[in-house]
Each structure stands twice: as structure tokens, then as C-alpha cells.
Amino acid sequence: MSVAAATALVCALGLSAVPETAYAAPGEPGPAPSPGGGNGGGGTGGRSLEEVRQEVDGLYRKAESATDAYNLARERQARQEKAILKIARAVVKAQKEMAGLRKRAGAMARAQYRGGGMPAEARLFLNGDPGDFLDGVTLARKGQQATHGLIGRLERTQVALDRYADSASQEWERLDRSRAKKAAAKKEILRKMARAQRLESRLAKDERERLRRLEEDKARGAQAKWLDTGILRKLGSGATAMGGRAVDFAKDQLGKDYVWGAVGPDTYDCSGLTQRAWSAAGRTIPRTSQEQWRLLPKVSVRDMRPGDLIIYFRDASHVGMYVGSGAMIHAPRPGRQVTVAGAGSMPILGVVRPDAR
């Protein structure tokens, strides 16, 4: 691990021996608005910086939850588009078969017409030659079998075409619903993010720095309480070979910007980072934190080992990767970078293990 990463790990665990910087107390009011109404110290609008932090954090969390809904709808849309394409190819194949069968049926009808329209059985009994009669019996049976077989294939092919039409109609309806859900989720995401960014942009430079420190202070406090439970004495230590590769990938992404919906290689959102890390390790996992929580094998927090994914908040709207020693790596939110943080710095919903056997 690099010096920078090691330093970040120590800070994340709240174990730094360096004297603490004095942070704004939760109830400390922000600077008074300037006479000109600008943001030169008046970006909090008379509220405490902690109140601004809580609103910004809440907005980004809601946006992150909506992001999961957006990503899931996008995945479903992609699957439905593939299903429709598969149906279309099957329809083309069935239509070609139907055309061939109709051509054969037409040829048989024309042959019967050339025979005077008389059924093969009638012509057979009018034949006076015994040898020709026996040969004719065999040919007539074969002709009947061919006719029945052709009619049966025509019926089955038509049934298949009707079924494909119904399936295509259903998939189109699902696709429309997915598109509508995706559009609604995206609108909600952009609205929440724009609101949070407006709040932050109104802050003066020193207020933005104090806001960052408030976030870090809150995270350190939560991590300290988590560590006070003695959890480190219970946690597993050794990663599997695959888990180790996932952790190494995550470490290599430290310092890269969080970008909504990004899956690398230069920017990530929280679940985009964990998905790519495990993909690099050789395991495909779901795209969103909510689907990672729903579909991946769950393990107890006290049994988690490096490479496991920690799912946060009751709605499973955030995810980080446990890297050992009580720390995790995650992509926090817009305006922040992929970083090391305390595994207990946010409310833990549970832990999942992509390489569980």
C-alpha cells in the first residue's frame, strides 16, 4: 500500500496520533450573511453548517437510492431489448420455414390437379395391374404420411409464430415500463443532485472546507463507536485469492472522482466501483448495491473478510469493499473521490460475499 493510502487508512480508523483539528460543533451557526447578499461567508442562509450538512447528505443519499433504481431499470431494458431481438430472429426463421412448407403444399396441390383432381386412393383401385396395385399401395401410404406431416408442421409453425407475436408484445410492454421507470428515476436523481450542488455552491470556500470536515468528523465518530464494540477482535483477516485481487483493484482506484452512473476506468459511483473490482478479480456481480444485497450470499459482519462488500443504510443504497483492519474503500458521493473510510462510519445493513462457496 502507498504512503498516501496508508495515511488515509489510519485516518479512517480514527487512530491518528496527530492532534485533532478543531471542527465546527454541530450546532455552530455559519457566518452571518454579507450585506451584498453574496456568498462571501453567507452561504448557509442563517442555518448552522451542520444543518446544511444534513440536508446535503440526505439529498445525495436519496439520489444514490434513485441511482440504483435507474441502473436496475437500465439493466432490465437491456435484457428486454435482447429478448425482443431473440424473438425477432426466431420469427424470421419460422417465417422462412412457413414459406417453404407453403411452397411444398402448393406443389402437392398442383400434382393432384394434374392427376385430374382424383384422389390417389381412387386411381389406385382403378388400376388393373396387380403389381402396379401393390406398388401403388406403398406410394399412397407414403403420400398420405407426407401430407399429414406437412399439415402438422404447418400447424405447429403457425402456433409458434402466434406465440412469438404474444411474447414480443409482452416484452415491448415491459420495455416501455422500464423506460418510464428509468426516465422517472433519472429525473429524481438530477433534481436531488442539483439541489445538493446548489447548496454547496452557495458556501464560501472556507465553509465548504468546514463542511467536508464535518462529514469526516461524523464518520470518525461513527467508526469510533463501532470499534468500541470490540468488533476488530472478531473480524476475519485473510482474503481469498479472488478477494485479494478485488481489493488490489479497489486500492488502485483511490483518488478517482465519484461520477454518477460511472463504472470506470477513470470515474466511479459506489456500486460501479465494487462491480468493476470483482470483475477484475474474475467474478461477475450485479450492477447496483440493492441487487448486490439481494442476490449475493450474505455473511455475518463479524465473519467478513477483505473483498467482502458492506451494504449500508436500510434501503441498501450504498456499498463499499472491506479491505481489512476495520476499513473499507468506497466512492462516497459527487464532489468526492474514491477513498479509504472506516467500515463502521455509516449504518451497516449487512455484508455479502461474491466468492462464497
* CATH at 261: 3.90.1720.10
Most trustworthy range by pLDDT among 15-29, 98-112, 150-164, 258-272:
258-272
CB 223 within 8 A of CB 342: yes
| Options 270, 328, 338, 341, the catalytic residue | 270
The percent of residues above 90 in pLDDT, for the chain, comes to 31
Query: What per-residue confidence (pLDDT) applies to 232?
Result: 86
Task: Grade residue 94 by pLDDT with cuts at 50, 70 and 90.
Answer: confident
Asked if residue 217 belongs to a domain, the reply is no
Max alpha carbon distance in the chain (Å)?
A: 121
Asked if residue 216 belongs to a domain, the reply is no
| Residues 72 and 188 both lie in one domain | yes
Asked if residue 211 belongs to a domain, the reply is no
Grid cell at residue 278: 470483482
Helix axes 3-13, 205-227, angle to 10 degrees: 70
- Classify strands 348-352 and 298-299 as parallel, antiparallel or unpaired: antiparallel
| Options 218, 330, 333, 353, the catalytic residue | 330
Q: Which of 167, 190, 217 is nearest to 49 (CA)?
A: 217
pLDDT digits (tens, 9 = 90+) for 247-274: 999 999 999 999 988 999 999 999 999 9
Domain count, the chain: 2
Which amino acid does the sequence have at 313? Answer: F
Asked if residue 198 belongs to a domain, the reply is no
- Give the mean model confidence (pLDDT) for residues 244-249: 97
| Residues 187 and 234 both lie in one domain | no
| Residues 235 and 347 both lie in one domain | yes
Most trustworthy range by pLDDT among 19-33, 64-78, 223-237, 313-327:
313-327
| Lowest pLDDT segment from 35-39, 96-100, 140-144, 157-161 | 35-39
CB 274 within 8 A of CB 321: yes
- Give the mean model confidence (pLDDT) for residues 17-34: 32
| Options 186, 287, 318, 333, the catalytic residue | 318
Q: Which range marks the domain in which residue 178 is found?
A: 68-192
Active site residue 330: yes
Active site residue 318: yes
| Residues 160 and 79 both lie in one domain | yes
Asked which of 192, 220, 250 is the last residue of a domain, the reply is: 192
* Euclidean distance between CA atoms 345 and 335, whole angstroms: 19
Q: Which of 46, 24, 11, 18 is nearest to 206 (CA)?
A: 24
Asked if residue 106 belongs to a domain, the reply is yes
Query: What per-residue confidence (pLDDT) applies to 328?
Result: 97
Query: What per-residue confidence (pLDDT) applies to 251?
Result: 97
Asked which of 168, 192, 216 is the last residue of a domain, the reply is: 192
| Residues 234 and 180 both lie in one domain | no
| Residues 179 and 74 both lie in one domain | yes
Which amino acid does the sequence have at 233? Answer: R
| Residues 21 and 126 both lie in one domain | no
| Residues 260 and 332 both lie in one domain | yes
| Residues 255 and 300 both lie in one domain | yes
Asked if residue 52 belongs to a domain, the reply is no
pLDDT digits (tens, 9 = 90+) for 199-215: 777 778 888 888 888 88
| Residues 15 and 82 both lie in one domain | no
Asked if residue 266 belongs to a domain, the reply is yes
- Give the mean model confidence (pLDDT) for residues 213-233: 90
* Euclidean distance between CA atoms 12 and 216, whole angstroms: 9
Query: In angstroms, how far is the first alpha carbon of the chain from the final one?
Result: 28
Asked if residue 206 belongs to a domain, the reply is no
Task: Grade residue 246 by pLDDT with cuts at 50, 70 and 90.
Answer: very high
Asked which of 147, 177, 192 is the last residue of a domain, the reply is: 192
